[in-house]
């Protein structure tokens, strides 16, 4: 970390990196409204398009975190094979002994019935980077949403995705009832993006930027989120080099930013955020389950192994027994809406759902 930031403005980090934090999401009001309407009306397929850096991923993750009346699944990119596709759901909902026995039989054709049986609440399936996939996969997604009663699908991708669907996938095209485009923020929304970021690292409002600087940043970037962040990043670094405490319009040169290509993760990330339980249900939980929740209240995003190590394994036959048992309990807690899960490849990380987190704070 750059100590100059701290000295100059009291910051604890650089606020203008391209990290994705749904808590910093702002603006795009009409688009947010359209997607919420779509989901609340239990509509089937919504399509979000926008160029790289417009905010698609942040928007989907914001939905994943804020749709508290629904269970949501977020996948950072579409599955590529039928097996991967099926695994997303069996990894979340699990298989009973009998289902394991007949595992071979779970196919793209039986998957809808399986999901319908397992999913207790209306499910919102959020699929990111959908332009990266082929016709077949998009068609599976369409069939899945057609056949499951309680599911809404929100797919996001680059603008080429819409052209691809229009050209090749007429049925899917007809099923899309909500289409939104993320383009750029208004000047006020852009100011809020900057302010939220600065305040999130203990800074004050839009300091060091003056209002004239905000006008100029807007003029230069058109309010396109990624360009705003890149420009702000350069401006604060230059200010540090030149020992400036303030950044005003005269400090901002006139040339335009050159867009940069997208950075991608190799491992798909799948997040499942279940619909949370009622307050009464929480009070009635058994002791072991409560201890796990308390552990997760102290520390977010832990693996079952980390939890076993924190809680100790005294009451179990061995460490691996403890881990397996905790794993089972976590799965149950997830299905009942106490904890959410994120998987990266083979690793699972657990955290309290936002509502349960609030209940703990209130206690």
Ligand X SMILES: Nc1ncnc2c1ncn2[C@@H]1O[C@H](COP(=O)(O)OP(=O)(O)O)[C@@H](O)[C@H]1O
User: Which residues here bind ligand X, judged by CB under 6 A?
Assistant: 18-20, 24-28, 50, 52-58, 193, 225-226, 229
- Contact between 184 and Mg ion by CB under 5 A: the answer reads no
Stretch that binds Mg ion, among 50-58, 60-68, 251-259, 280-288 (CB under 5 A): 50-58
**Could you tell me which residues come within 8 angstroms of residue 32 by beta carbon, excluding any fewer than 6 positions away?**
59
Question: Of 162 and 251, which CB lies nearer to Mg ion in the complex structure?
Answer: 162
Q: Which does 348 bind (CB under 5 to 8 A by kind): ligand X, Mg ion, none?
A: none
CA distance 92 to 82: 16
Cα-only R_g, the chain: 23
Backbone region of residue 312 per phi and psi (left: phi > 0; alpha: psi in -120 to 50; beta: other values):
left
Quote the least distance from Cβ 338 to Mg ion, whole Å: 29
Check residue 202 and report its DSSP letter: T
Out of 26, 31, 49, 57, name the contact with Mg ion by CB under 5 A: 57
CA distance 63 to 84: 23
Quote the least distance from Cβ 79 to ligand X, whole Å: 19
Q: Which does 276 bind (CB under 5 to 8 A by kind): Mg ion, ligand X, none?
A: none
Q: Which does 265 bind (CB under 5 to 8 A by kind): Mg ion, ligand X, none?
A: none
**Could you tell me which residues come within 8 angstroms of residue 128 by beta carbon, excluding any fewer than 6 positions away?**
56, 57, 60, 74, 75, 76, 77, 156, 157
User: Among the residues of 41-185, which ranges form H helices?
Assistant: 56-66, 82-93, 97-101, 111-118, 135-147, 160-168, 170-175
Question: Of 38 and 230, which CB lies nearer to ligand X in the complex structure?
Answer: 230
Question: Of 56 and 122, which CB lies nearer to Mg ion in the complex structure?
Answer: 56
Strand order in the sheet with 176-181: 176-181, 45-49, 151-157, 123-127, 71-75, 269-273, 339-344, 347-352
Q: Which residue is nearest to ligand X (CB)?
A: 55
Question: Of 225 and 274, which CB lies nearer to ligand X in the complex structure?
Answer: 225
CA distance 72 to 66: 10
Residues 331-360 that bind Mg ion (CB under 5 A): none
Quote the least distance from Cβ 52 to Mg ion, whole Å: 7
Q: Which does 119 bind (CB under 5 to 8 A by kind): Mg ion, ligand X, none?
A: none
Contact yes or no for 193/58 (Cβ under 8 A): no
Quote the least distance from Cβ 74 to ligand X, whole Å: 12
Neighbouring C-alpha atoms within 13 Å toward the C-beta of 53: 18
Question: Of 22 and 94, which CB lies nearer to ligand X in the complex structure?
Answer: 22
Quote the least distance from Cβ 348 to ligand X, whole Å: 24
Question: Of 202 and 262, which CB lies nearer to Mg ion in the complex structure?
Answer: 262
Q: Which does 67 bind (CB under 5 to 8 A by kind): Mg ion, ligand X, none?
A: none
CA distance 227 to 133: 26
Stretch that binds Mg ion, among 42-50, 54-62, 276-284, 286-294 (CB under 5 A): 54-62
Stretch that binds Mg ion, among 49-57, 131-139, 158-166, 247-255 (CB under 5 A): 49-57
Question: Of 49 and 119, which CB lies nearer to Mg ion in the complex structure?
Answer: 49
Of 316, 263, 328, 321, the C-alpha closest to 292 is 328
**Could you tell me which residues come within 8 angstroms of residue 50 by beta carbon, excluding any fewer than 6 positions away?**
56, 156, 158, 159, 181, 182, 183
Quote the least distance from Cβ 44 to ligand X, whole Å: 23
Question: Of 31 and 71, which CB lies nearer to ligand X in the complex structure?
Answer: 31
CA distance 326 to 190: 44
121 phi/psi in degrees, rounded to 5: -125, 165
Q: Which residue is nearest to Mg ion (CB)?
A: 57
What is the binding site for Mg ion (CB under 5 A)? 56-57
């Amino acid at each position: 970390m750059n100590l100059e930031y701290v000295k100059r403005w009291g910051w604890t980090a650089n606020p203008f990196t391209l990290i994705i934090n749904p808590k910093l999401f702002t603006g795009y009001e009409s688009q947010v409204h359209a997607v919420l309407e779509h989901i609340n009306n239990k509509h089937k397929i919504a399509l979000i398009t926008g160029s790289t850096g417009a905010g698609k991923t942040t928007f989907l993750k914001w939905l994943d975190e804020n749709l508290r009346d629904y269970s949501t699944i977020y996948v950072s990119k579409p599955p590529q094979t039928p097996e991967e596709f099926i695994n997303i759901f069996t990894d979340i909902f699990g298989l009973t002994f009998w289902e394991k026995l007949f595992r071979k039989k779970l196919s793209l054709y039986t998957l809808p019935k399986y999901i319908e049986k397992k999913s207790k609440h209306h499910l919102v399936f959020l699929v990111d980077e959908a332009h990266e996939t082929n016709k077949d996969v998009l068609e599976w997604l369409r069939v899945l949403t057609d056949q499951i009663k309680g599911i809404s699908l929100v797919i996001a991708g680059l603008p080429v995705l819409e052209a691809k669907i229009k050209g090749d996938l007429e049925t899917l095209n007809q099923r899309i009832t909500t289409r939104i485009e993320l383009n750029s923020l208004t000047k006020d929304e852009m100011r809020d993006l900057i302010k939220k970021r600065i305040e999130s690292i203990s800074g004050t409002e839009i300091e060091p930027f003056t209002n004239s600087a905000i006008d100029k940043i807007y003029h230069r970037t058109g309010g396109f989120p990624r360009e705003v962040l890149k420009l702000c990043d350069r401006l604060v670094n230059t200010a540090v080099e030149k020992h400036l405490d303030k950044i005003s319009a005269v400090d901002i040169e006139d040339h335009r930013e050159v867009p940069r290509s997208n950075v991608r993760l190799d491992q798909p990330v799948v997040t499942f955020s279940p619909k949370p339980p009622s307050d009464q249900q929480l009070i009635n939980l058994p002791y072991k389950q409560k201890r796990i929740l308390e552990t997760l209240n102290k520390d977010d995003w832990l693996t079952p192994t980390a939890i076993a190590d924190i809680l100790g394994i005294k009451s179990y036959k061995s460490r691996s027994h403890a881990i397996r048992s905790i794993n089972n309990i976590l799965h149950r807690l997830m299905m009942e809406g106490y904890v959410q899960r994120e998987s990266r490849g083979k690793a699972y990380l657990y955290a309290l759902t936002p509502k349960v987190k609030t209940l703990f704070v209130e206690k």
